[in-house]
Amino acid sequence: MLTRSMILISLILLSSTWLLAQQLDPPKLTPAPSTEQQESLINKGVALHDQANYDGAIMKYEEVLKENPSNVLAMYEMAFSYSMKKDYAKSLEMAYQGAQYKSDHLTGFYLMIGNNLDLLGEPNKAVNAYKAGIKLEPTASLLYYNLAITYTNLKKPDDAKKSLKQAVILNPNHPSSHLALGTLFYRTDYKTPALFAVSRFLILEPKTERSIGAYKVLQEILRGGVREGKNPNEINIFVSVSSKKDEGDFGSIDMVMGLSRAAGMTEKNKGKSEMQLLVDQLDSLFSIISEIDPKGDRSKFVWKHYLPYFIELKKRDFVEPFGYYISQRSNVEGVEDWLWANRNRVNAFLNWSKQYPWPKID
């Protein structure tokens, strides 16, 4: 004979199983707009949420939905509050409900569905949810980004890389997409592609905690396999002869990175500061890139998306402000002073970067 608690547990398990098996069909319902009173309640709920009072926020949204069951904004905010409360099953239930409506929050609901499924230990179902969202909202870059994160956790780097490229194309100004792509390139031994993706991240986000790790990756790539030898004035350059070429043949650029780093270690450059050496190395690197004929690689992502930006950056004489700007979390002496003394050049670089016409790649 089942006890009351056993029945309750069984019902919870059945409910969770039903949620995880939910089908995501295209939305067919039309949402109802908020009244002034409902909008006021939602605003109060958001204020409570921002104070981490998630239960209080949920109560406000429940008031709205009791009066207006088709209020998608209340559904969205409630799903968000449940997620922050770490009640992922409840958040998932509300997100599924909201995803039945045609609304501006549709992408957000699919993001929450995928995220909740992932957190509930169902990454493959999360992948299907993100793909379903992309089918409905093909220009939603965050769906591609979150799909890539799930693919990465599933140890599917090629699928993750493909999704991140699409996220970057759709939104070139999303720092996390560049950082994730640069990190993935770096971990899978695509050093030159990683350099450009991480550089773009540092332009967009130069002063956060994440910038510290990204800058370390940048510096490691720029070392180009160069190490000081055992004897005085001895420099060793280690170059991989079997580097991957499916993202493009960057052998000559890899070699330039090694040679330019080695040049910075010679006697004639001993008196230069760390930042002067960095700028010199970047300038040499971008000069070589400007002169390379990519041949069959012209249609590949890195050559089509990142390289034209950095070639134009070099042509406009922005290498120096670029180098200093991305070094703000490097703890290198003189960076802040230089940025202040050359703020007009820095602003010119940033204004150009913000207005840069990124290509729309199919």
Residue-wise pLDDT tens digits, 145-195: 999 999 999 999 999 999 999 999 999 999 999 999 999 999 998 988 999
Residue-wise pLDDT tens digits, 215-236: 999 998 888 755 555 555 555 5
SS3 call for 173: coil
- Residue count of the chain: 362
Specify the pLDDT at position 232. Answer: 54
Residue-wise pLDDT tens digits, 38-58: 999 999 999 999 999 999 999
More confident residue, 251 or 312: 312
What is the three-state SS of 251-289? HHHHHHHHHHHHHHCCHHHCCCCHHHHHHHHHHHHHHHH
Specify the pLDDT at position 233. Answer: 55
Helix axes 4-20, 88-98, angle to 10 degrees: 50
In order of 168, 234, 236, 258, the CA distances from 230 in angstroms are 43, 7, 9, 18
Composition of the chain by helix, strand, coil, percent to 5: 70, 0, 30
Specify the pLDDT at position 241. Answer: 53
Helix axes 106-119, 88-98, angle to 10 degrees: 150
Specify the pLDDT at position 21. Answer: 54
240 pLDDT exceeds 70? no
Which domains, ranges and CATH numbers included, belong to the chain? 37-171 (1.25.40.10), 218-355 (no CATH)
